[in-house]
Chains A and B, each alone.
Chain A
Amino acid sequence: MVKHILKRLVLLLPTILGVVTLVFFMIALAPGDPARVMLGERANAAQIAQLRAELGLDEPLIKQYGLYLSRVVRFDLGKSITSGQQVAEEIGKLFPATIELAFMAMIFASVLGILLGVTSAIKRNTWVDYTTMGGALFGVSMPVFWLGLVLIMIFSVWLDLLPTGGRMNIRYYFTPITNFYVIDGLILLFKEGTAKYLVSAIQHLILPTIALGTIPLAIIARTTRSSMLEVLQQDYIKTARSAGIREKRVIYRYALRNALLPVITVIGIQFGLLLSGAILTETVFSWPGIGKWLYVAIGARDYPSVQGGIIFISVFFVLINLVVDILYSVVNPKIRLQ
């Protein structure tokens, strides 16, 4: 098992190297001079030449690539053009916001998706099944940002129940501790005895969670249903039933366990995709995470930030896929024993 994991980790290196290489050359060959972008329209030729020399832009491309690689290996992603901050530091500060949202969306999608999928499979070809699967089909056909806006319109504008965006009531004097606001809220609940931070953090999470979680919810429900239907036809389920085991136990104890195997893979893949899907959701809900930050960086042609952000998200995505694969072989003896 350990050998298997190590092998997979080693195989990962060329992929990550490929990602870094592709990102570097895509940005390096992009039209426009980064030095000019950094200095603005009014800069003169001498200033631009000086900055180009400082940034190493006059060096041959191969040398620049080598330098970039040697820095990335040390987790140095360069400085942001617009803020002057270290890109790696900025990512570190923003990432908790994105992870918090993505994590919530995934819990929402997984719990509800598995529940709906199982129900649908048990009540196959009834109105429950048709409604759920019809709803799932609508879910995958919807633009995420539109769903977000409609949710804001209904729950914030018309019903005035939930905030339209942000992570915390701006009227509260709030200094983040961990940058995971739900955790911060819990800490403050115990330390200061007030629940208002926790409540506000959760209130701000509800709508973005639904918007971001709807597509994975639909996909998880569909996968669970079809996987469950397949398992329910297997001989060992018939055996269990004919042995007189209660139907509930047959379904949840014997069928669901095996039916969940493909669902785990889907959940993992969707979690990786969420991080990039967060660009749209975070923009709609003014959620100060990595997606919105990347969107702003792209607009400002802040190349070090764009490069760093993309490399970070892609490597994270690849790592999640690896974890899912390993998890899959842990829970599935058929693969584990190979």
Chain B
Amino acid sequence: METDIHEEIIIADPTPLQETWFHLKKNKAAMVGLGIITIFVLMAIFAPLISPYDPNAQVIDDRKTPMFTDGYILGTDDLGRDMLSRLIYGARISMTIGVVSVGISLVFGILIGVTSAYFGGVYDKIVMRLIDIMLAFPYILLTIVIVSLLGPSLLNAMIAIGISQIPRYARVVRASVLAEKEADYVLAERALGARDTELMFLTILPNCLSPTIVQATLGVGEAILSSAGLSFLGLGAQPPTPEWGLMIASSKEFITNAWWIVTLPGIAILLAVLGFNLFGDGLRDILDPKMRN
């Protein structure tokens, strides 16, 4: 008898993570997205082990080799570099871009959002006004401006993308903190003598993470797209980095005679972004039904 009761308790009380996973498993699109993300992450981690060639090694005799020829599965580019190896290494760069820039927006967005909702008053008014001004700039334009001020490089592109996304995260976090801050459990903690920082980041924040996680997942895909755009304009990664956007930019004159050099990196971007969008949409449906439009 005793064991039966014990088992029932376990079934009745799954952790939030288990519960999310339970719902997520039933969402086919989200699982496809997760699968794509996993493949790209594995590619990024094991790039040196799985890529058949050095991504920057130029074989002059093998320039613009078509796909499935002479041992090059995806052909070579205009300098005779193996496309497959460059695409695999590109996964490394794009995943880094996603994590770093979303990390920047998350840290600052959470700091700004939590404090302005928690303290309110004049501070909140000023911060929200600044956020409004930042949102008055079209997002792509803001990244381009920041990057052109900092100087073109991959790191600066990540910083620029991170900064220009802060307003969105700050707003999402602020809205959910506002909804939580008068809740009974917060008041109870306060009555027990918790300090402001404890209340903000240990008591309230963990209960506000769902919409932020959704935003961050979709944000990774958007960051990959934006950085590809910046690199295409010459404001992001610099040659010979195997960044997907840069690969498209530097081969655009070959669309007349070597279509795969332009097409393949675009497909890589498309798939990676698709993965994060599928997974993010699925997460949104489960974690935050209110956000569905």
Contact = CB atoms under 8 A, between A and B. Distances in A.
Contacts of A277: 138, 140
A226 B139 contact: no
Given A149-B266, A276-B139, A314-B141, 17 more contacts: A30-B149, A138-B270, A141-B274, A142-B270, A142-B273, A145-B228, A149-B248, A153-B263, A157-B255, A226-B292, A272-B138, A279-B140, A298-B148, A298-B235, A299-B234, A310-B137, A317-B137
B97 to A, nearest CB: 13
A18 interface: yes
Nearest to A222: B293
11 contacts: A15-B136, A22-B133, A142-B266, A143-B228, A146-B248, A149-B248, A150-B262, A157-B255, A272-B138, A298-B235, A310-B137
Interface string A148-185: 01101100010000000000000000000000000000
Contact of B255 (A144, A145, A152, A310): A152
A146 B266 contact: yes
Contacts of A145: 228-229, 232, 245, 248-249
A306 B145 contact: yes
Chain A interface mostly: helix
B277 A137 contact: yes
Contacts of B134: 22
Given A140-B277, A318-B136, A279 B232 contact: no
Contacts of B140: 273, 276-277, 279-280
Contact of B293 (A149, A223, A276, A310): A223
B209 interface: no
A161 to B, nearest CB: 15
Chain B interface mostly: helix
A290 to B, nearest CB: 11
A143 B256 contact: no
B274 A153 contact: no
B150 to A, nearest CB: 9
Nearest to B271: A141
Given A18-B129, A150-B263, A141 B137 contact: no
A141 B270 contact: yes
A27 B256 CA distance: 40
Interface residues of B, number: 44
B129 A143 contact: no
A95 B270 CA distance: 31
A14 B259 CA distance: 50
Nearest to A158: B259
B233 interface: yes
Contacts of B221: 141
A141 B293 contact: no
A283 interface: yes
B252 interface: yes
A37 interface: no
Contact of A143 (B145, B229, B293): B229
B204 interface: no
B149 A26 contact: yes
Interface in B121-138: 129-130, 132-134, 136-138
B136 A314 contact: yes
Contact of A141 (B130, B133, B273): B273
Contact of A273 (B130, B138, B252): B138
A150 B235 CA distance: 22
A149 B251 CA distance: 10
Interface in A267-296: 272-273, 275-277, 279-280, 283-284, 295
Interface string B255-293: 110010011011001100110011000000000000011
B144 interface: yes
Contact of B129 (A14, A273, A276): A14
Contacts of A142: 266, 269-270, 273
A-B pairs with lowest CB-CB distance, top 9: A146-B266, A276-B138, A18-B133, A141-B273, A276-B141, A141-B274, A153-B255, A30-B149, A276-B140
Contacts of A15: 132-133, 136
B99 interface: no
B11 to A, nearest CB: 32
A226 B255 CA distance: 38
A143 B225 contact: yes
